[in-house]
A and B are shown apart, each in its own frame.
Chain A
Amino acid sequence: MSTLEVKDLHVSIDGKNILKGVNLKMQTGEIHAIMGPNGTGKSTLSEAIMGHPAYKVTKGEVLLNGENILELPVDERARAGLFLAMQYPAEIPGVTNAEFIRGAINARLPEDKPLSVRNFLKRLDKTMGVLDMTDEMADRYLNEGFSGGEKKRNEILQLMMIKPKFAILDEIDSGLDIDALKVVSRGVNQMRGPEFGSLIITHYQRLLNYIVPDVVHVMMGGRIVKQGGPELAKRLEDEGYAGLRDELGLDIKLVDEEA
């Protein structure tokens, strides 16, 4: 079993404070969801955990199995077991999807014992099958010209091939049609088990019908303001964020609110 703990995390970007003390603890075997209004810092939290250079941690810690990882470069965090399915994955022309994924897997293996091409292709083929992806996607350049939905599927493909300990999925459901939503959920559910934990950022309760979370966190104004079970997501779906905010007596302006 592994643990991931975020302690009093403060993060700023371009000098602007976005996260103002986030606390969160999870372990493998669990699925956590984060919901929260636009611009509240959900992606900031995930990028800061992964180690995007633009996000500056000004205070706090991120502990993986009790070790602070904030000093580690991005690639070492990844090899330590973290994975981030990004809200906006980059496009890399000239590098094929398959070549990239194989490189990522081999980066975790001893240099003299890489995964053989044949075994890799076998696994890739099978996993792409689970995600209803066509073979052709393996030979295309990484995310280049992929539709929004294809990019999301491709993030899950990487997740399933790399098998991290903890995966943060940032709006993996946005831009997915109904069938694709089921397919992607199937992929994530297949990963579920005692050695895998996931933090799922979403705006829509619907995803959580397919991937049922153990814990739901609500984030507002750069903090986690409430935690609960799956029913909390249903309540938000019905009532929106304003009700919860007023109930908690928070002084936060929501993006869509009239001044």
Chain B
Amino acid sequence: MTVDLKKYPTIAAYAEKTAEPAWFTELRTKSLEKAASLALPSFEKIRYQRWPIQLKQPLERKNSSKELIEEIKPEQTENMVVQLGQDTLELKVSNELRSQGVIVCDWHTALQEHSDLVKKYFMQKAVKINEDLLTAQHVAHLTSGLFIYIPKNVVLKKALTSYFVQDATAKNDYVHHVIIVAGENSEFSYLENLKTVGEQATTANIIVEVIAQENSHVKFASVDRLGAKTTTYLNRRGYLEKNAKIDWSMGMMNDGNIVGDFDSDLVGAGSHSEVKIVAISTGKQIQGIDTRVTNIGKHTIGHILQHGVILSRSSLVFNGIGHILKGAKGADAQQESRVLMLSNKAKGDANPILLIDDNDVTAGHAASIGRVNQEQLYYLMSRGLPKKMAERLVIIGFLGPVLAAIPSKLIREQLKITIERKLIDGQKDE
């Protein structure tokens, strides 16, 4: 059972330095051994295999210089976490949360103080350790993260906001893990901001697991703005028990190459996942987004709505996978993927995939790839709006149906600002 740590001196050194529990260190070495026989995951129409996406650097505890955070200026809210590289700079949680037994702590603390809980949920239900090469490498190289536990019946009105800032001032891999466990009948809103400081070419491997227990409701939102030289594997997955619901709202505003793998497993009867994604690709970047909802339980509902815009020479692929397993009677799988291209050199795809193994279900899909409507641009410009501003309005209009469907007004506004900024930056490349 025990693994000889002498074979893995860097892992052993790291484990000793961070005093992580033996079971976790053991997971690392096992994953590493297993990795040799695992392959990279494949996603329809997303060819990322030759990117520098694999984790190759030795496991090491590194500190970041705190001043770097000043570039980001995280907005102060009641419940918030700010992490820079492997360091946690700020963790603020209201008394309301504390008194109800909510746990919010960084990865090291979680392993120290809530080892049993972590052991119970870490890559056990949502993502599996040995799923593929990237998940196995993730475990072996993991150095930062956040653990959130909402006890049974706790209903939180105020959201928790996290800022995860990747430190790319040096060539360090960024390997990050978030677990959200929402207990029975609980309600929780979470906003994640992914950012990069520094300009070094780096690799990021990020996994987020949301375990939504019976009758819980999680609103998960993210504004992702990783840097131009960061190559990212981003996996967000929900595991939904009976009558649980997850609202996913994601803004893919990254500047570098990224594979986003966004999945919901509707395990419990009556569980429900709503996935809303807006994406903008600019410059020469490639964003591949693979969104899957699997209906396993009876009367489960999985809806995917994703709209994306492609500028300059960039690429954007949307896969929408609705998979209804046999026995998922009364399940509903709907999806809509649309991309809008603003230049002749842009490349885009919207790829609906419906896999249906039961008869007693409802399913539907819509997909489109279009170019910006010249009559609309002309109309806006005829009122004096400069071309780029007119383009931005048409784009925001195109993304509108997704934005409008995002439950939180705050997130909508935040996304709009980020979209505007990303577009203005992106238009400079044209």
A residues adjacent to B (C-beta < 8 A): 50-53, 73-75, 78-79, 83-84, 86, 89-95, 100-101, 103-104, 107-108, 141, 158, 162
Bound-state CA distance A112–B389 (Å) is 16
Given A90-B373, A141-B397, output 17 extra A-B contacts at Cβ < 8 Å: A53-B374, A53-B378, A75-B384, A75-B385, A78-B384, A79-B384, A83-B383, A90-B379, A92-B379, A93-B398, A94-B396, A94-B400, A95-B396, A104-B383, A107-B384, A107-B386, A162-B383
Contacts of B383 in A (CB 8 A): 78, 83, 100-101, 104, 107, 158, 162
Interchain residue pairs with CB less than 8 A apart (29): A50-B382, A53-B374, A73-B381, A73-B387, A75-B382, A75-B385, A75-B386, A78-B384, A79-B384, A83-B382, A84-B382, A86-B379, A90-B373, A90-B376, A94-B396, A94-B397, A94-B398, A94-B399, A94-B400, A100-B380, A100-B383, A100-B393, A103-B385, A104-B384, A107-B383, A107-B384, A107-B386, A162-B383, A162-B384
Contacts of A108 in B (CB 8 A): 384
Cβ of B96 within 8 Å of any chain A Cβ, yes or no, is: no
Contacts of A95 in B (CB 8 A): 393-394, 396-397, 400
Nearest A residue (CB) for B393: A95
Do B382 and A78 have beta carbons less than 8 Å apart?
yes
Contacts of A78 in B (CB 8 A): 381-384
- Known contacts A74-B382, A162-B383; A92 and B394 CB within 8 A of each other: yes
Contacts of B376 in A (CB 8 A): 90-92
- Judged by DSSP, the binding face of A is mixed
Contacts of A84 in B (CB 8 A): 382
Contacts of A52 in B (CB 8 A): 378
Instruction: Tell which of B378, B384, B386, B401 touches A90, judged by Cβ atoms closer than 8 Å.
Output: B378
Q: Which residues in window 202-260 of B have CB below 8 A to A?
A: none
Instruction: Tell which of B378, B389, B396, B403 touches A74, judged by Cβ atoms closer than 8 Å.
Output: B378
Bound-state CA distance A101–B393 (Å) is 12
Chain B 351-388: CB-based contact to A (< 8 A → 1; otherwise 0) = 00000000000000000000001111011111111110
Bound-state CA distance A86–B383 (Å) is 11
Bound-state CA distance A73–B374 (Å) is 14
Cβ of B341 within 8 Å of any chain A Cβ, yes or no, is: no
